[in-house]
Amino acid sequence: MIKVLFICHGNICRSPMAEFVLRDFITKIGMDDNFIVGSAATSQEEIGNGVYPPVKKILTSLGIDCSNKVARQINLGDTKSFDYIIAMESVNLDNLYRLFPRCDKSKVYLLKDFTDTPGDIADPWYTRDFDKAYKEIATGCLGLLKSLNQDALISLDEKQHKALDSLVI
């Protein structure tokens, strides 16, 4: 079982988008039983709020239901129980390490580390470019799955390989 936690500032835009996109990809390649996927905030600002409407609109257009998601803050247990803690931008990492200075850095990544263009995913709350954020997040999620397969942490049969290669971003 691979446990992935996505983090961003408020847990209403980028990290829930990544959570639900990765879950969707996992379902499409038939690996539901191999993953636990969640998301959390590094701040307390949005705790209890639902997914931000423009993000919900994008996910809904893809046939993804996120209506039960509410923002929550990462906790110490998360830092211990998840295998991968994947942030959207470097400031999220700074906040994570401020909250949990002893967090195991070997399991912490930026989502775009799994792409050909490492770096930050800008917060669409400020940029208003939710489509760009989606494309970067989906590309990162696809890259994560390919990385896990390449590192033999998941094992895909021929049908699953084809499904992975056919995922559309």
Residues 27 and 156: their CA atoms lie apart, in Å, by: 13
Domain boundaries, position 139: 2-165
Q: Residue 74: count other Cβ atoms within 10 Å of its Cβ.
A: 25
Q: How confident is the model at residue 165 (pLDDT cuts 50, 70, 90)?
A: confident
Look up the pTM and report it: 0.96
Q: How confident is the model at residue 31 (pLDDT cuts 50, 70, 90)?
A: very high
Domain count, the chain: 1
One of 23, 78, 103, 123 is an active-site residue; which one? 123
Say whether pLDDT at 164 is over 90: no
**8 counts as catalytic:** yes
Average pLDDT over residues 28-36: 95
Which CATH number does the domain housing residue 32 bear? 3.40.50.2300
One of 14, 78, 103, 141 is an active-site residue; which one? 14
Average pLDDT over residues 92-110: 97
Say whether pLDDT at 169 is over 90: no
Average pLDDT over residues 3-10: 98
